[in-house]
Structure 1
Amino acid sequence: MIQLNIQNETSRLRSVILGTAQSNGPVPKIEDCYDPKSIEHIKAGTYPKEEDMIIEMEAVAAVFKKYDVTVYRPEVIKDCNQIFSRDIAFVIEDKIIRANILPNREKEIEAIRYVWEQIAPENRIILPEECHAEGGDVMPWNDYIFVGTYSGDDYPDYITARTNMDAVIAIQELFPHKTVKSFELRKSNTDPKENALHLDCCFQPIGTNKAILHKNGFLIEREYQWLVDFFGKDNVFEITKEEMYNMNSNVFSISEEVIISEKNFTRLNTWLREQGFTVEEVPYAEIAKQEGLLRCSTLPLIRD
């Protein structure tokens, strides 16, 4: 059996599900895309190639091996994008919560059933149907659970709105001893520079007390300000609109000292090293074209 344990985003990682780019399928049709960035690359003829994405994901797998992390991979489904394992489930404490994701992604969940079945049944949670939640919007942070959401009446119009208030309430009920803090995110189906697909596209805690933030990803300034005050201005690395578009906040922590980051994130990586972090740089620019990066393609199961 797998004994899950996730209290926060940065404790030492022991076990993780890493997505796969194998048999990723042909370039999707524009009408089948889930986000504006993929559409942009399809139109430009720069949509990522499967072989390039496989190389990028293997680079991450190699870093996990170096740090002695147990890695599970989804079973490969022919012609299916299975890169973003964070979307399909997430772990808080000893519970795995299956995400209610876009209906045409159901089979991605089947591909990790062999992991799901190694978890005690009482710790496998399936939210009620009206609760929409994806792992990119959910961040356990010790006594808090941070959740990105969108509560506008036009929620159904946004394929980029992935987590609703029903899910926020359900998570609070599951973890009554935690403070669930929700943040309204800016959504756009058409402009990737004005769209925070998930909370981890504009915010991520790192180390023990620091954070990467992008102000424009938040719809309500005081919610953004709450995070600045919570971490302290000197502990926050504020990324630009261009850096958010390139997914600079979507790095991934192996521990409080070690962060996997994209090799082109020069300004961020320099700052991280100045703060004393070890930065494991990997190529991930092709995967980033689908509006997801390192945190999106990993589903942590056990941290110390």
Structure 2
Amino acid sequence: MLQLNIKNETSRLKVVILGTAKSNGPVPKVEDCYDPKSIEHVLAGTYPKEEDMMHEMDAVVKVFEKYDVKVFRPEVIENCNQIFSRDIAFVIEDKIIRANILPDREKEIEAIRYVWNQIDRKNRILLPEECHVEGGDVIPWNDYIFIGTYSGEDYSNYITARTNMDAVIAIQELFPNKIVKSFELRKSNTNAKENALHLDCCFNPIGKGKAIIHKNGFLIEKEYDWLINFFGKENIFEITKDEMYEMYSNVFSISEDVVISEKNFTRLNEWLVQQGFIVEKVPYAEIGKQEGLLRCSTLPLVRD
């Protein structure tokens, strides 16, 4: 049996699911895209190629091997985008919670069934149908669970609104000893620079008590201010609208002092080194064209 253990984003990683770009399928039609950034690249003819994305994911596998992390990959489904494993489930403490995601993506869950079946049945959680949630919106942080949400009455008009208040309440009930803090995110179906698809697209805590944040991703300024006060201004790396668009906040921590980052994130990577982090740089810009990066494509199962 697999003993899950995830209390935060930065403890030493032991076991992870990394998505796959194999048999990713043809370039989608605009109407089949789930986010404005993918639409942009479809229209511009710059949508990423399968072999480039496979090459990028292989670079991440090598980093995991270097740090002795056990890596599960989804079973390959023909012509299906299975890169973003964070969307389909997430782990808090010893429980795995299946995300209620866009109906078109149900098959992706089946592809990790072999991992799901290794987990004690009582720790596999299915939320009620009215709870919408994706793993990119859920950030466990010790005594806290941070959750990105959108509670506007026009929720159903946004393909980019992925987590609702029903899910926030359900997660609070599952973890009564945790403080669940929700954050209203800015949503746009049409402008990727004005859209925080998930909480980890505009905020990500990393080791040593530091965090990466983008102010405009938050609809309510005092919620953003709360995070600044929580981490302390001196521990925060503020990213610009363009950097959010490039997915600067979506790096991934292997431990308190090791971060996997995109090799072109020069300003961030220099800051990380100054703060004493080991930065494992990988090419991930092609995958980033689909409004997801390193955190989105990983699903941590066990951290020390």
Give the TM-score, by structure 2 length: 1.00
Tell me which residue corresponds to 1:22: 22
Displacement of 1:207: 0.5
1:23-63 C-alpha deviation (Å, 9 max, x unpaired): 00000000000000000000000000000000000000000
SS in 2 for 1:183: strand
Displacement of 1:284: 0.2
Tell me which residue corresponds to 2:255: 255
Query: Following the alignment from structure 1 to structure 2, what is the Cα–Cα distance between the partners of residues 131 and 198?
Result: 16
| Matches for 1:145-184 after TM superposition, within 5 Å | 145-184=145-184
Displacement of 1:246: 0.1
1:116-141 C-alpha deviation (Å, 9 max, x unpaired): 00000000000000000000000000
SS in 2 for 1:152: coil
Query: Following the alignment from structure 1 to structure 2, what is the Cα–Cα distance between the partners of residues 279 and 236?
Result: 17
Tell me which residue corresponds to 1:130: 130
Query: Following the alignment from structure 1 to structure 2, what is the Cα–Cα distance between the partners of residues 41 and 108?
Result: 23
Query: Following the alignment from structure 1 to structure 2, what is the Cα–Cα distance between the partners of residues 264 and 178?
Result: 36
Large movers: runs of 4+ above 3 Å? none
Query: Following the alignment from structure 1 to structure 2, what is the Cα–Cα distance between the partners of residues 280 and 25?
Result: 29
Query: Following the alignment from structure 2 to structure 1, what is the Cα–Cα distance between the partners of residues 278 and 20?
Result: 25
SS in 1 for 2:289: helix
Displacement of 1:257: 0.4
Tell me which residue corresponds to 1:289: 289
Displacement of 1:244: 0.1
Displacement of 1:229: 0.2
SS in 2 for 1:286: helix
Q: State the AA in 2 paired with 1:132.
A: H
Show structure 2 runs of 5+ residues with no match: none
1:129-169 C-alpha deviation (Å, 9 max, x unpaired): 00000000000000000000000000000000000000000
Tell me which residue corresponds to 1:237: 237
Tell me which residue corresponds to 2:220: 220
Q: State the AA in 1 paired with 2:255.
A: S
SS in 1 for 2:255: coil
SS in 2 for 1:47: coil
Q: State the AA in 1 paired with 2:185.
A: L
Q: State the AA in 2 paired with 1:23.
A: S
Query: Following the alignment from structure 1 to structure 2, what is the Cα–Cα distance between the partners of residues 115 and 51?
Result: 26
Tell me which residue corresponds to 2:82: 82
SS in 2 for 1:229: helix
SS in 2 for 1:290: coil
Tell me which residue corresponds to 2:36: 36
Tell me which residue corresponds to 1:52: 52
1:167-204 C-alpha deviation (Å, 9 max, x unpaired): 00000000000000000000000000000000000000
Query: Following the alignment from structure 2 to structure 1, what is the Cα–Cα distance between the partners of residues 104 and 202?
Result: 26
Task: Say whether residues 1:144 and 2:144 are aligned partners.
Answer: yes
1:232-272 C-alpha deviation (Å, 9 max, x unpaired): 00000000000000000000000000000000000000000
Tell me which residue corresponds to 2:189: 189
1:203-236 C-alpha deviation (Å, 9 max, x unpaired): 0000131100000000000000000000000000
SS in 2 for 1:254: strand
Query: Following the alignment from structure 2 to structure 1, what is the Cα–Cα distance between the partners of residues 303 and 246?
Result: 27
Query: Following the alignment from structure 1 to structure 2, what is the Cα–Cα distance between the partners of residues 67 and 156?
Result: 42
Q: State the AA in 1 paired with 2:200.
A: D
Show structure 1 runs of 5+ residues with no match: none
Displacement of 1:77: 0.0
Over the aligned positions, Cα root-mean-square deviation in angstroms equals 0.3
SS in 2 for 1:196: coil
Query: Following the alignment from structure 1 to structure 2, what is the Cα–Cα distance between the partners of residues 290 and 139?
Result: 21
Query: Following the alignment from structure 1 to structure 2, what is the Cα–Cα distance between the partners of residues 149 and 111?
Result: 27
Query: Following the alignment from structure 2 to structure 1, what is the Cα–Cα distance between the partners of residues 163 and 9?
Result: 19
Give the TM-score, by structure 1 length: 1.00
| Matches for 1:56-135 after TM superposition, within 5 Å | 56-135=56-135
